[in-house]
Amino acid sequence: MIRKARIPDAKPIQKLLVDYAREGLMLPRSLSEIYEAIRDFYVYEEDGRILGTVCLHICWEDLAEVRSLAVASDSGGRGIGRSLVQACLEEAREVGLKRVFALTYQQIFFERLGFGLIEKSELPHKIWGDCLKCAKFPDCDEISMAIDL
């Protein structure tokens, strides 16, 4: 079941994100950052266990980012990630956003959801925000993708 995250979900969300951050696949998120943004997160819960998470982060009046997408390693390939991103896209449409982007290593996954390649230079708010915190900046190897809604 996909639902908006609640306060008790913060620690399981962080656990999922830490596993991906250790592999260098995403930026780590502190528990404090997760609590502050808990209303932006969705979770996929099954039998009381959080198997996946994603965050829709609004950057500007017409732009948001899908970030912190993580699925438990033993639950991949079941469509959980796809369902989580689709929930974000639905919410983005509901609040009137025109474009959603992602920085990713999973190009094919996002292409299947309708995202296309873009230049990082199209994302000034992102580049000068979170990217400055990344050890890979300015030599980022993530792929920039976006979908127009």
Tally Cβ neighbours within 10 Å of residue 33: 15
Burial of 26 (0-12, 13-18, 19+ CB in 10 A): buried
Q: Which domain holds residue 120?
A: 2-148
Tally Cβ neighbours within 10 Å of residue 16: 21
- The answer, yes or no, to whether the previous bond of 8 is cis (omega within 30 of 0) is no
* Cα separation values, 85 from 22, 70, 124, Å: 22, 11, 22
Dihedral pair phi/psi, residue 54, rounded to 5°: -160, 155
Dihedral pair phi/psi, residue 53, rounded to 5°: -150, 160
Give rounded-to-5 percent helix, strand, coil for the chain.
Answer: 40, 30, 30
pLDDT band at residue 125, thresholds of 50, 70 and 90? Answer: low
- The total of structural domains in the chain comes to 1
Between strands 63-71 and 99-104, the pairing is parallel
Tens of pLDDT, residues 44-58: 999 999 999 999 999
CATH classification of the domain holding 36: 3.40.630.30
Average pLDDT value over all residues in the chain: 89
pTM score: 0.89
